[in-house]
């Protein structure tokens, strides 16, 4: 049986793989030791591999993509040219192969591996069972160009390579690691299908290795379940034992990073702890990452009926692929030592530690603290024991670990000190520091262990073989538990969470396991690079993960989703520590290869930064000190005196009021089916108070945690009512809550839409605290009472009452689903993606209910059956490269501001009629006139004088109220909403707040710190308020923003084209040397319902039953694009059923909802569900 080996990493001499190691591929050509039982007799014999050999390599020059190969039919041990060549050639990617031919298989150079075609190189160990029976069918399926490249028709390996090439679209296409692994999967499937069709009896051994120069894909596979041997090894370096001797090589693992990776039929080096035996039917994908690192992923090859299953393989995260395809240039690393002062940084920088401790002769790989004693593990194979009760740390003892090797991790458990060394878990007595040999855990063929977690009686560990293991000591008995293939790549980090084990892998995943059963509880996706570090909050409610994608993610362990992503570092986040000082101070500490340590407050704003000077390798938190180990063997001591200076924040997202649901659970636990209606209403009011207390302001970075808390509150409320719930957090957006009350999977469904996010409450005219419900004269005042937290609660409590009335969820007349988002006030980002990705939650939707509009007056209920759409666009006029002085240059040029004003003035006449040709196309004026007549019945709903007064205007012109409504509801309009000067984008779009380092902050919001006012900063961007010198400046660029509202029957694309044509024509008529640019920022769909639909009749019946009056059918001039999105996606009609009065002040100061409207709104929703169920049954 053949032997093969492949190396990927930093450049090495071919001799380092082929000739020098004791178990080199040359040695394996005459001393192959591992033979597997096989149905083909000659494959099991310990014969020599002397029927030829080959080596192949890629150049270190990235521009040279084609490999070079040297092959010969001479035995490898007897070819002097091989030894000479191997001493002179260096390469970062090497293939080596020694051949043992079948009986009857020709011995020729055409049959020697590796095979080459274009940029691809390929080798094989094994066979195709009954090859002669299947050869013709395999060759006949090849494309003409691939058939002509087949190096030999006599060799099953050469034919396998041709079959692989046949899966490629062409030989020049750049494939990602994921795509290349799928091509290999397809190749194996074709071979096995052909063998099955030909009735082959012999089993096939398909140990393939293929590369395109960037990625290596290796397989270990047999259709009989007994594959040829294959091992893999990885580490940070590959070198001789010492500089003076080259008698053998070893793979060094001195950090979580992987700089080299190898696969081989047998271990190349003598140290067994460096090699992992590849599991049966497994694919290994090795790909290059940033800074020359290597990503290694394991993927099980699924077998169905003897064939490779057509299943998608894991996604291999490759930094090179991500940079070029997914993330632009977003993953650039920095190790310059320069402190990157990012926008988020508002604190100070420290550049010198308080103390430096030395003791290790190599890098410090791990640190752990146990009371006043700190333990350190080093590359030098020693454990340092440090007394920390002195003024500065003092080295007590250096323990030589046996067997010697890098100490990847140290931890304490009970009276034991634990260390990971190679493939061993070593136990020491913590007091005497004597080795407890009887406890040592030995794991042959698993490769080096990299991550260790200890908690209570459980010790968990994992590493290169991707397997999670745990040892639990019960009295005198030890039990070992295993989670096979826990990750698709190395397990690099681990923490204990009570009875759970949390692991981070090089496959970018964070996973949570039951420590007792080793069953996976949850898996977290989101990072775009390997996980390098994990930490937890003291209560275990949050887990923090640091990654090689330079970010930190915050995972909620109750909702099992991402709460926040923290950016700021410019290289790997290699360590995380959580610091809690007192009741109201929490800080997350992150250490990065960008040579900085950052401290983040509860809003995840960086408030303190340490400039480390050297590359960090490990950290641990003391009582008031942070200890950071580095690559030189030093441990730096940094005092955390800034903690005492930092003010507490009683309104933080982590305060009991916001992060705890105790009060909610307390009042909701009293909810009883037997409670009278008034008691039920009082419970709803208490729930409203708790809900309003969460300042869930979307678009404000300081309230992101509040938005998460509001989503969690909503989810918990629905769970208490009996719903199945799910929280989904779109990237960079607030969570979406999905819920379903399912009576019958095949029954119709009512879907309710709402949003828990609210507008800011910065207006100084608030009479009451906007985030505390205040009851005055029968009204509930507070931000979100009417928009939209109050209506959400009314619907939820209506569902609860209907469940009680029916006798349980299973007896509901129809299914009920809810979709509650947290970005409605900020553009509904992530809403549509979540809706489309989870259609099963809204299966069989018959009706969509939305309560996010208002009555037209105060006393009569309404049904909204139409809303206008919206187009936002900007007109930018620019000319000079810089701003000019009006005294020096005024009158000498066409000024951008003057041109813009002339353009904008051409859009409308003095009576607000829009002058753009085609602007009113699509408007049915006859229908408008008919509806004006219908609106005349609403004349008594509003006082025109008071209406004008509410707007701060003189009495409105002599138009009637019906005509006013038609202008607001039924006609397209154009409004100029803003003019700005300067800035590359005109200042439009979402803008992050800017802190001025060192400056005192302005006063907090008058209401309990709900919103911070930031001191304004002057910059080169957009300007609103001009100081005295701005009056003399001619801006080089000006931008006007326009808001267009259009009606349902208009085509927004045609409308945009008409606006652009008009602006370009008007500008051309000016004869200006400036330039104009029109940019569309957003389009929101218009919506119109059908008031004759039976759903509207059911709604009218429910409203009349509760309010005793026939509802009004009204439009709204505003825009809510989610309505049309929901209708189109769920293929069901939408019903807009407002609860609040026209005077409720949504988005304004003193927002409110009348208590009777809230309670009756609940009753209307319950009656509506019953009416719709009756209609559907009919």
Residue 1023 · residue 1030 · CB < 8 Å? yes
CA-wise closest residue to 363 among 324, 320, 406:
406
| Burial grade of 142 (CB within 10 A; 0-12, 13-18, 19 or more) | middle
**Cα(394)–Cα(388) distance, integer angstroms:** 7
CA-wise closest residue to 96 among 163, 167, 23:
23
Structure tokens at 978: 């803003």
Classified as helix, coil or strand, 69 is strand
Sign of the four-CA dihedral 885, 889, 893, 894 = positive
Structure tokens at 334: 């920095």
Residue 236: DSSP 8-state: S
Question: What are the E-state strand segments in 35-128?
Answer: 53-57, 68-72, 90-98, 115-117, 120-127
Q: Which residues contact 233 (CB under 8 A, 6 or more apart)?
A: 251, 261, 262, 264, 267, 268, 269, 274, 275, 276, 447, 464
The angle that helices 925-935 and 961-969 make with each other, rounded to 10 degrees, is: 130
Helices (H), 300-355: 319-321
Total Cβ atoms within 10 A of residue 906: 17
Which of these is catalytic: 2, 112, 562, 709? 2
Classified as helix, coil or strand, 436 is coil
Q: Which residues contact 385 (CB under 8 A, 6 or more apart)?
A: 373, 374, 375, 395, 396, 397, 398, 399, 433
Structure tokens at 843: 């299966």
Q: Which residues contact 1134 (CB under 8 A, 6 or more apart)?
A: 847, 848, 849, 850, 1087, 1089, 1123, 1124, 1126, 1127
Residue 1137 · residue 1089 · CB < 8 Å? no
CA-wise closest residue to 573 among 453, 637, 492, 636:
492
Sign of the four-CA dihedral 495, 497, 501, 502 = negative
Place of tokens 């560990």: 461
**Cα(452)–Cα(419) distance, integer angstroms:** 8
Total Cβ atoms within 10 A of residue 242: 8
Q: Is 862 a catalytic residue?
A: no
Count how many Cα atoms sit within 13 Å of the Cα of residue 48 in the half-sphere of its side chain: 12
| Burial grade of 222 (CB within 10 A; 0-12, 13-18, 19 or more) | buried
Residue 1056 · residue 886 · CB < 8 Å? no
Residue 99 · residue 173 · CB < 8 Å? no
Sign of the four-CA dihedral 1126, 1127, 1132, 1137 = positive
Catalytic residues: 2
């Amino acid at each position: 049986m053949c032997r093969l080996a492949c190396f990927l990493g930093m450049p090495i001499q071919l001799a380092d793989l082929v000739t020098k190691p004791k178990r080199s591929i040359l040695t394996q050509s005459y001393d192959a030791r591992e033979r597997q039982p096989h149905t083909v007799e000659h494959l099991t014999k310990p014969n020599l591999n002397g029927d030829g050999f080959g080596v192949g390599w890629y150049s270190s020059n990235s521009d040279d993509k084609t490999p070079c190969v040297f092959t010969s039919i001479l035995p490898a041990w007897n070819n002097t040219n091989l030894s000479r060549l191997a001493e002179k050639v260096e390469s970062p990617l090497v293939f080596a192969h020694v051949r043992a031919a079948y009986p009857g298989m020709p011995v020729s150079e055409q049959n020697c591996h590796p095979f080459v075609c274009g940029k691809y190189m390929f080798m094989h160990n094994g066979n195709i069972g009954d090859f002669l029976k299947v050869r013709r069918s395999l060759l006949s399926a090849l494309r003409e160009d691939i058939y002509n490249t087949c190096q030999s028709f006599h060799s099953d390996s050469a034919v396998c390579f041709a079959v692989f090439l046949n899966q490629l679209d062409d030989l020049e296409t750049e494939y990602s690691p994921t795509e290349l692994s799928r091509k290999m999967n397809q190749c194996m499937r074709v071979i096995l299908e052909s063998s099955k069709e030909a009735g082959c009896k012999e089993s096939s051994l398909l140990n393939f290795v293929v590369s395109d120069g960037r990625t290596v894909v290796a397989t270990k596979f047999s259709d009989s379940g007994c594959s040829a041997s294959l091992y893999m090894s990885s580490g940070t370096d590959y070198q001789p034992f010492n500089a003076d001797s080259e008698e053998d090589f070893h793979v060094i693992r001195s950090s979580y990073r992987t700089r080299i990776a190898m696969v081989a039929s047998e271990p190349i080096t003598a140290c067994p702890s460096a090699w992992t035996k590849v599991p049966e039917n497994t694919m290994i994908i090795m790909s290059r990452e940033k800074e020359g690192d290597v990503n290694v992923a394991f993927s099980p090859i699924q077998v169905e009926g003897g064939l490779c299953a057509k299943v998608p393989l894991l996604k291999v995260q490759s930094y090179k692929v991500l940079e070029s395809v997914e993330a632009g240039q977003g993953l650039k690393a920095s190790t310059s030592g320069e402190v990157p002062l990012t926008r988020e940084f508002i604190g100070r920088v420290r550049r010198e530690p308080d103390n430096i401790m030395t003791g290790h002769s190599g890098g410090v790989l791990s640190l752990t603290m146990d009371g006043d004693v700190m333990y350190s593990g080093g590359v030098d194979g020693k454990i340092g024991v440090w007394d920390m009760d002195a003024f500065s740390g003092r080295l007590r003892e250096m323990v030589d670990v046996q067997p010697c090797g890098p100490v990847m991790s140290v931890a304490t458990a009970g009276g034991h000190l634990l260390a990971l060394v190679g493939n061993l878990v070593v136990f020491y007595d913590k007091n005497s520091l004597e080795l407890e040999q009887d406890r040592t855990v030995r794991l042959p063929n698993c490769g080096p262990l990299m991550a260790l977690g200890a908690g209570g009686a459980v010790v968990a560990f994992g590493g290169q073989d991707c397997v999670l293991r745990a040892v639990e000591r019960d009295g005198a008995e030890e039990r070992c538990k295993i989670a096979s293939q826990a990750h698709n790549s190395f397990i690099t980090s681990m923490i204990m969470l009570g009875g759970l084990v949390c692991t981070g892998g090089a496959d970018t995943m964070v996973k949570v396991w039951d420590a007792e059963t080793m069953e996976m509880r949850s898996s977290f996706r989101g990072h775009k690079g390997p996980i390098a570090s994990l930490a937890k909050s003291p209560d275990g409610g949050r887990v923090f993960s640091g990654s090689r994608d330079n970010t930190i993610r915050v995972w909620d362990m109750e909702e099992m989703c991402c709460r926040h992503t923290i950016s700021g570092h410019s290289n790997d986040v290699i360590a995380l520590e959580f610091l809690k000082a007192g009741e109201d101070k929490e800080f997350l500490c992150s250490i990065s290869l960008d040579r900085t340590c950052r401290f983040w407050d509860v809003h995840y704003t960086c408030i303190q930064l340490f400039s480390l000077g050297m590359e960090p390798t490990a950290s641990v938190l003391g009582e008031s000190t942070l200890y950071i180990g580095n690559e030189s063997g030093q441990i730096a001591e940094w005092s955390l005196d800034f903690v005492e200076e930092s003010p507490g924040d009683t309104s933080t997202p982590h305060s009991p009021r916001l992060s705890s649901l105790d009060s909610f659970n307390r009042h909701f636990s009293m909810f009883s089916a037997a409670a009278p209606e008034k008691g039920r209403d009082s419970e709803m009011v208490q729930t409203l108070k708790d809900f309003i207390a969460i300042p869930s302001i979307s678009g404000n970075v300081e309230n992101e945690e509040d938005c998460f808390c509001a989503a969690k509150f909503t989810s918990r409320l629905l769970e208490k009512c009996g719903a199945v719930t799910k929280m989904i957090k779109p990237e960079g957006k607030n969570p979406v809550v999905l819920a379903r009350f399912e009576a019958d999977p095949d029954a119709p469904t009512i879907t309710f839409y709402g949003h828990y996010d609210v507008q800011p409450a910065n207006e100084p005219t608030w009479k009451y605290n906007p985030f505390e419900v205040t009851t005055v004269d029968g009204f509930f005042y507070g931000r979100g009472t009417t928009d939209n937290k109050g209506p959400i609660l009314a619907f939820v409590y209506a569902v609860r009452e209907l469940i009680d009335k029916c006798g349980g969820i299973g007896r509901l007349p129809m299914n009920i689903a809810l979709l509650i988002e947290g970005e409605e006030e900020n553009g509904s980002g992530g809403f549509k993606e979540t809706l489309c990705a989870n259609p099963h939650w809204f299966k069989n939707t018959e009706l969509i209910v939305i309560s996010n509009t208002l009555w037209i007056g105060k006393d009569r209920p309404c049904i909204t059956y139409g809303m206008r759409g919206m187009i936002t666009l900007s007109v930018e006029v620019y000319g000079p490269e810089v701003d000019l002085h009006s005294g020096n240059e005024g009158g000498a040029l066409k000024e951008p501001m003057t041109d813009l004003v002339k353009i904008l003035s051409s859009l409308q006449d003095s009576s607000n009629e829009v002058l753009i040709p085609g602007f009113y196309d699509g408007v049915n004026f006859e229908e408008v006139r008919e509806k004006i007549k219908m609106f005349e019945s609403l004349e008594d709903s509003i006082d025109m004088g008071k209406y004008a007064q509410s707007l701060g205007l003189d009495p409105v012109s002599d138009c009637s109220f019906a005509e006013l409504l038609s202008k607001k509801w039924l006609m397209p309009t154009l409004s100029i909403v803003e003019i700005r000067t300067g800035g590359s984008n005109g200042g439009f779009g979402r803008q992050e707040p800017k802190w001025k380092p060192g400056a005192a902050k302005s006063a907090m919001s008058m209401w309990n710190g709900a919103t911070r006012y930031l001191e304004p900063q002057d910059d080169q961007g957009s300007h609103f308020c001009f100081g005295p010198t701005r009056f003399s400046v001619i801006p080089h660029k000006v931008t006007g923003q326009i808001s267009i509202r259009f009606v349902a029957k208009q085509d927004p694309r045609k409308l945009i084209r008409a606006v652009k044509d008009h602006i370009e024509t008007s500008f051309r008529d000016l004869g200006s040397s400036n330039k104009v640019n029109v940019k569309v920022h957003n389009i929101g769909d218009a919506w119109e319902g059908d008031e004759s639909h039976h759903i509207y009749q059911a709604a009218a019946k429910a409203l009349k039953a509760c309010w005793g009056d026939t509802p009004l059918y009204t439009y709204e001039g505003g825009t809510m694009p989610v309505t049309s999105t929901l209708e189109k996606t769920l293929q069901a009609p939408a019903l807009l059923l407002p609860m609040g009065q026209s005077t409720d002040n949504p988005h304004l100061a003193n927002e409110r909802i009348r208590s009777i409207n809230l309670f009756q709104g609940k009753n209307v929703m319950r009656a509506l569900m019953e009416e719709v169920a009756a209609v559907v049954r009919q």
